[in-house]
Amino acid sequence: MLRNSRMKFIKNPKRQFFLFIVLFFLLNFIQSYFTELLEDETYYWIWSNNLAFGYFDHPPLIALWIKIGSFFFNGALGVRFFSIISFLITLIFIWLSIDAKEKWKYVWLYFLLICSVALLNVYGFTALPDSPLLLFVAIFLYTYKRFLETNSFLHTFLLGFAMAGMLYSKYHGVLVIVFIIISNIKLLKNKRFWIACFFGAFLFIPHILWQLNHGFPSIEYHLFDRSKKLYKFKYTLMHFVNLITIIGISFPIIYFAFFKQKITTTFEKGLRYIVLGFIVFFFLSSFKTSTQAQWNVIILIPLVILTFSYFIENRKSRKLLIYLGLANLVLMLIGRAFLASSSLSPVELETHLGKKWAEEIRKKTNDRPIVFLGSYRNASRYNFYTDIKTHSYSLLRKRKSQYDLTDFEQNIQHEDVVIVGRNVIGYLLFENKRGIYYGTNIDDYVTVQKIQCNFTEKKILLFKNKKQQVSFEIYNPYTFEVSFNEIKFVGVFQGKKNAIIKEIAIEIDTDFSLESNQKKTVNASIEIPKQMNADILTFRIALKSYQLPSGFQGNKVNVLIKNE
């Protein structure tokens, strides 16, 4: 009798679905607990300690995700906990978006299909911006399907809510909306769709205001500063490799089913446009910069929705999916074990290094606060595992980060610190795949990396091999007086993709100070070397202190270099 009741319980499709959800929860819960954080996860954890409507790199939702999880648990599990929950909700909304008549007979196949798309599972236990993005994409697609059926006000506002959620997760969530509109131009004649768009835009206003108040740092970074590499064919090649990687060894049958599945509804047409749209969009992007696998992760949701029906209806393809899906599942479980345990993994992975690495540095630096040169990842990871004051000093040859927008620099002023970088003259601290890092001690550390040295002209004319005068405005945004006696001014020429071509000395009288919020126009003398060529595109002023490399103090201006 007991055995029969157990069999009836297991055979019930809805209970099967619930059991699979529980199984995914337990697997990701255990994985999160035993696996150290990725560097990027610690960076987003830094964000969560200072909740705002925006951050330098991405919109703010991942920071909120981490903050919510930290209310329930400490450590890595707290950082990831709400990502675990949102992943389960994502799976439910994907399921609700599937229209196959016999889908409840194939609950097991659905979860096997989920396991057959590798990268989707990664966001079941990691705290990355794609975690909330996938949730809101799933909500958007389900709501869009219902909106097409009912055109009700409820689904109108839910659609707008999902639009805002996607944009609050990652900016390229807007592509989902764009490709849906392209697939169904009639939406532009639908008043309630416009209401949904305006409602979503209204919800997004706080982030727009944050960008406005901070000088649109995210837009400047993603559109202008991020593409610093000259084109290489491998960027385009890697785009197609990424399309395989995000799925795993099941990719042949998944993509085959996608192209074979007949499109019969407007909703299914929209799903196909999203997949093809992302593939084409990032193919074109590969000619501008190197693309990343996770940029295409959104397509996994429409791929699952479309191909699930195909696998139900086609026995041969379903059989192949079972073989490849089970193999993919085994490989993922092995990979998960490797991520969690350094003793099981044949190679040292990023998730094996955090605690050990931080502890070794802490001992070598005697618990001093640390300033990492141009490494927001090292700074955030060290801070997470030691709770010691840490800062990332942004270098012109690298990139800016959230450390430029918050008060990390201010909190470390007048501390006895250790400067850590690859080109620092000092003692050996550690070595990783990025190079060998050295440290040097500095007592009573004071830096002014937020000082602004701005040209008022949009373009300046310079002559080779001739000493000439340039003028620019210096502004002190700090709450304290800044003396420039110990600070060196340099001029930096940059070419294509913002590559640093040449730094030159600037002769300037540094015997002056600026009060808080004070501005001063200064005249400087510079001399352009004969070998400077026409490839120069921009010029800027940079500051150096403690022999640190150049920072982002000056604005870029176009420059024209002529012979005398």
pLDDT in tens, 238-284: 999 999 999 999 999 999 999 999 999 999 999 999 999 999 999 99
Of 340, 373, 389, the domain-final residue: 340
96 and 243 assigned to the same domain: yes
CA distance 329 to 115: 6
Three-state SS letters, 199-257: HHHHHHHHHHHHHHHCCCHHHHHHHHHCCCCCCCHHHHHHHHHHHHHCCCCCHHHHHHH
Q: How far is CA 482 from CA 49, 130, 512, in A?
A: 28, 41, 9
Contact between residue 269 and residue 263 where contact means Cβ atoms under 8 Å apart: yes
CB within 8 Å of 137: residues ≥ 6 apart: 166, 173, 176, 298, 301
Predicted pLDDT of residue 227: 57
CA distance 61 to 83: 11
246 and 102 assigned to the same domain: yes
pLDDT in tens, 127-172: 999 999 999 999 999 999 999 999 899 999 999 999 999 999 999 9
Is residue 135 a part of any domain in this protein? yes
118 and 47 assigned to the same domain: yes
What are the two backbone dihedrals, phi and then psi, of residue 201, each rounded to the nearest 5 degrees? -65, -40
What are the two backbone dihedrals, phi and then psi, of residue 494, each rounded to the nearest 5 degrees? -125, 145
24 and 58 assigned to the same domain: yes
142 and 266 assigned to the same domain: yes
| Range of the structural domain that residue 113 is part of | 11-216+235-340
Contact between residue 472 and residue 491 where contact means Cβ atoms under 8 Å apart: no
CA distance 560 to 163: 45
Does 91 have pLDDT greater than 50? yes
Instruction: Count the domains in the chain.
Output: 3
Is residue 221 a part of any domain in this protein? no
pLDDT in tens, 477-521: 988 888 888 888 888 888 876 778 888 888 888 788 899 999 988
**Quick check: helix, strand or coil at residue 447?**
coil
Of 411, 445, 479, the domain-final residue: 445
Is residue 244 a part of any domain in this protein? yes
137 and 245 assigned to the same domain: yes
130-150 helix and 191-213 helix, angle to the nearest 10 degrees: 160
Q: Which residue intervals of 286-435 are DSSP H helices?
A: 300-313, 315-340, 354-364, 376-386, 408-411
Is residue 345 a part of any domain in this protein? no
Is residue 4 a part of any domain in this protein? no
Q: What 8-state DSSP symbol labels residue 464?
A: B
Instruction: Read off the pLDDT band of 17 (50, 70, 90).
Output: very high
Task: Kindly report the length of the chain.
Answer: 564
Three-state SS letters, 506-530: CECCCCCEECCCCEEEEEEEEEECC
Of 403, 429, 445, the domain-final residue: 445
CB within 8 Å of 457: residues ≥ 6 apart: 557
pLDDT in tens, 307-322: 999 999 999 999 999 9
Mean pLDDT of 4-18: 75
Mean pLDDT of 71-91: 96
299 and 360 assigned to the same domain: no
Is residue 369 a part of any domain in this protein? yes
CA distance 426 to 291: 36
290 and 162 assigned to the same domain: yes
Is residue 397 a part of any domain in this protein? yes
CA distance 425 to 373: 13
Is residue 229 a part of any domain in this protein? no
129 and 272 assigned to the same domain: yes
76 and 146 assigned to the same domain: yes
316 and 398 assigned to the same domain: no
411 and 469 assigned to the same domain: no
Q: How far is CA 453 from CA 296, 320, 373, 472, 552, in A?
A: 39, 63, 21, 6, 9
What CATH number did the domain enclosing 467 receive?
2.60.40.10
Instruction: Read off the pLDDT band of 2 (50, 70, 90).
Output: very low
Predicted TM-score (pTM) of this structure: 0.92
